[in-house]
């Protein structure tokens, strides 16, 4: 073998590293990722159509739907809850799919391009937010035409909390995908959201011991905060009507779970790297 | 194109270990390798030889545990970001729910100045299936798509990891015809394979890898010469077999002497001289002369690796 010249390697280093396309969002990636999501009919059904249907069944069509609650009515509270459920289902599935596709070789393909990790993460997060906005838009529209009532500000703030809070649960999907590495794990993650939805006081008002336990489950804080602009701290319970609860319980719940999921996702990513 | 004054690839004493259930695995165990501009090099070796790990380090997908990896005089990540090196990966690497054309468009969007998408699609023979979902493509079509993605940055160095795995004979022939055109256009091509015929037919130079190390490196013709020699088998007097084997090793042109009990196998360029020596002065009986194949050379060179390990 010939020996290569060992001098002046530094001067031949490419200088175009900084000249990468765009900033933190790759619009082609955004467009094509959204197209992929829309192509997946099952996901669209479970994240958008189903929550809308749930709202009509459990909210709009019930006798109690127009009973007053906070500055609005019960239908409004159920509308926010179902929008939250749909948004979380969307972000969990996108987070999980992102973990899986990266491990199934797409990460290696992207690793062969100048695409920065930050651009990938920000663009994917934007995809998650846009997809999460779909059930929110549908359920809120259904609510608007079928008797959900609250202050105008409550509509805006609730929608925002649902949207921003849902992003946290992209981490939940990410953890499932990273830990179990299979399509089945993603179905399990989505399925577990239904269970956590019940435990999180989303579908049926809980009471007693179950409500005490519920306060520690991941969806409880999120949905309580999302309802707060309407309920102003009132919690509907299964047995004794309503009672008030400090907003800090919900804040602590969301903060704790965000931290836990972020740490877990970081550890799982590190484990994945060391195995490569 | 780009400046090509530094070698395309320069590996210096590169190792890579991975944690495993029982301690650590040394996938790459001290590889030195320099590939110049315009060379077509085959990294030939059995599965688990360390080919993929070596190429992953060249591409910056895996960092070496020790040693240095330079691509055109720069760290691999910089060479990748500058579009000087790209690769066709062995498995995965595609999203099943994207269309073929969308996939090319997507990867093109990540480069500052990609080759025109239509031109790349034509060169990889994808125009007819641009609208097809990746999940509906055959293995050969998916591999052509990966090849198209690798052409997007107009790279100086093309790395191919087992590029024809899973292809049928026709697809394989077509793929290498396309690759010939790229090599003739002046691209440096480094490919990993465990198919001898592929290395023999396409590469100018073969780097034989086994046990995470380079066991032979030279022009394809020279590696083949290893094989065109013959192997002489003979029975020796058990009492003096070891001493006779030592004398055989000293004969000119002898590359390998193996002793199994009192049966000796001698690999040599001039088998007639060995046979003559065995029959006249060395007391050899039951003589047998066998022509080696490239397959033999491959097995021979890769199998002696564990022996070297033990004696180190």
Computed on alpha carbons and rounded to an integer, the radius of gyration of chain B in Å comes to 23
Instruction: Using the Cα atoms of residue A26, residue B79, residue B70 and residue B144 in order, give the sign of their dihedral.
Output: positive
CB B82 within 8 A of CB A17: yes
pLDDT in tens, chain B (312 residues): 554 578 999 999 999 998 887 788 889 999 999 999 889 999 998 888 899 999 999 999 899 999 999 999 999 999 999 999 999 987 668 999 999 999 999 999 999 899 999 999 998 889 999 999 999 998 889 988 999 999 999 999 999 998 887 778 888 888 888 888 888 888 999 999 888 788 888 898 999 898 899 988 988 877 776 655 678 888 888 888 888 888 888 888 787 888 888 888 888 877 888 888 888 888 888 888 876 666 666 776 666 544 333 333
| B103: three-class secondary structure by DSSP | helix
Q: CA of B73, closest CA in chain A: separation in Å?
A: 5
Rounded distance between C-alpha atoms, residue A181 and residue A22, angstroms: 31
Rounded distance between C-alpha atoms, residue B211 and residue B26, angstroms: 8
Complete domains list, chain B, with CATH: 9-224 (3.40.50.300), 230-291 (3.30.70.100)
CA of A140: how far to CAs of A38, A75, A153, in Å? 20, 11, 14
A106, B81: Cβ pair inside 8 Å?
no
CA of B142: how far to CAs of A115, B84, B92, B94, B149, in Å? 22, 23, 10, 8, 11
ipTM of model over 0.90: no
Of B34, B93, B97, the CB nearest to A4: B34
Exposure of A221 by Cβ count < 10 A (0-12 exposed, 13-18 middle, 19+ buried)? buried
- Residue at token pair 């990513």: A269
B112, A108: Cβ pair inside 8 Å?
no
Chosen from A6, A36, A37, A113 to mutate, greatest number of chain B CBs within 10 A: A113
In Å, how far from its chain's centre is CA B192? 4
Residues of chain A neighbouring B87 (CB-CB closer than 8 A): 112
| Strand ranges, E, within A154-267 | 234-236, 242-244
What residue of A is the nearest CA neighbor of B159?
A112
**Which H helix or E strand runs over B68?**
strand B66-71
Query: Strand pairing of B23-35 and A234-236?
Result: unpaired
Segments making up each domain of chain A, as ranges: 24-275
Rounded distance between C-alpha atoms, residue B77 and residue B298, angstroms: 33
Rounded distance between C-alpha atoms, residue A121 and residue A111, angstroms: 13
Of B62, B87, B108, the CB nearest to A112: B87
Chosen from B3, B6, B165 to mutate, greatest number of chain A CBs within 10 A: B6
Rounded distance between C-alpha atoms, residue B217 and residue B39, angstroms: 13
A109, B217: Cβ pair inside 8 Å?
no
């Amino acid at each position: 073998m010939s020996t290569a010249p060992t001098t002046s390697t530094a001067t031949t280093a490419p200088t175009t590293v900084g000249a990468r396309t765009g900033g933190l969002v790759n619009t082609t990636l955004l467009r094509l990722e959204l197209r992929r999501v829309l192509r997946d009919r099952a996901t669209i059904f479970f994240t958008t159509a189903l929550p809308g249907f749930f709202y009509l069944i459990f909210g709009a069509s019930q006798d109690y739907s127009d009973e007053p609650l906070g500055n609005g009515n019960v239908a409004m509270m159920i509308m926010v809850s179902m929008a939250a459920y749909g948004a979380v289902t969307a972000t969990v599935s996108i987070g999980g799919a992102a973990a899986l596709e990266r491990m199934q070789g797409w990460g290696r393909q992207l690793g062969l391009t100048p695409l920065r990790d930050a651009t990938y993460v920000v663009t994917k997060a934007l995809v998650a937010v846009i997809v999460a906005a779909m059930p929110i838009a549908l359920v809120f529209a259904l609510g608007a035409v079928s008797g959900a009532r609250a202050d105008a500000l409550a509509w805006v703030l609730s929608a925002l909390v649902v949207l921003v809070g849902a992003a946290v649960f992209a981490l939940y999907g990410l953890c499932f995908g990273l830990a179990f590495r299979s399509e089945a794990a993603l179905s399990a993650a989505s399925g577990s959201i239904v269970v956590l939805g019940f435990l999180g006081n989303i579908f049926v008002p809980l009471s007693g011991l179950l409500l005490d336990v519920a306060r520690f489950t991941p969806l409880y804080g999120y949905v309580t905060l999302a309802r707060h602009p309407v309920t102003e701290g009132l919690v509907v319970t299964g047995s004794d009507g309503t009672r008030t609860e400090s907003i800090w319980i919900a804040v602590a719940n969301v903060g704790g779970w965000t931290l836990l999921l972020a740490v877990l996702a970081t550890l799982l990513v590190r484990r994945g790297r060391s195995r490569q | 194109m780009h400046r090509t004054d530094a070698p395309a690839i320069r590996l210096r004493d590169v190792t890579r270990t991975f944690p495993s259930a029982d301690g650590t695995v040394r996938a790459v165990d001290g590889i030195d390798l320099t590939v110049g501009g315009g060379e077509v090099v085959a990294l030939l070796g059995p599965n688990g030889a360390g080919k993929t790990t070596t190429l992953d380090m060249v591409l910056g997908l895996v960092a070496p545990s020790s040693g240095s990896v330079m691509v055109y005089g720069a760290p691999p990540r910089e060479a990748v970001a500058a579009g000087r090196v790209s690769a066709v990966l062995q498995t995965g690497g595609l999203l099943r729910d994207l269309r073929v054309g969308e996939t090319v468009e997507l990867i093109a969007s990540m480069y500052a100045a990609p080759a025109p998408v239509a031109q790349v699609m034509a060169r990889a023979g994808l125009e007819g299936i641009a609208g097809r979902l990746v999940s509906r493509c055959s293995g050969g079509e998916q591999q052509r798509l990966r090849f198209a993605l690798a052409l997007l940055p107009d790279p100086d160095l093309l790395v191919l990891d087992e590029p024809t795995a899973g292809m049928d004979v026709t697809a394989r022939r077509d793929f290498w015809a396309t690759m010939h055109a790229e090599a003739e256009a002046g691209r440096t091509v480094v490919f990993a394979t465990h198919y001898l015929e592929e290395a023999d037919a396409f590469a100018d130079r073969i780097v034989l890898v086994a046990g995470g190390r380079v066991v032979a490196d030279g022009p394809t013709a020279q590696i083949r010469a290893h094989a065109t020699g013959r192997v002489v088998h003979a029975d020796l007097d058990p009492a003096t077999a070891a001493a006779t084997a030592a004398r055989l090793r000293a004969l000119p042109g002898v590359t390998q002497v193996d002793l199994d009990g009192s049966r000796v196998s001698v690999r040599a360029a001039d088998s007639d001289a060995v046979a003559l020596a065995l029959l006249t002065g060395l007391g050899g009986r039951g003589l047998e002369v066998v022509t080696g194949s490239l397959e033999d050379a491959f097995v021979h060179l890769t199998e002696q690796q564990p022996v070297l390990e033990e004696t180190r």
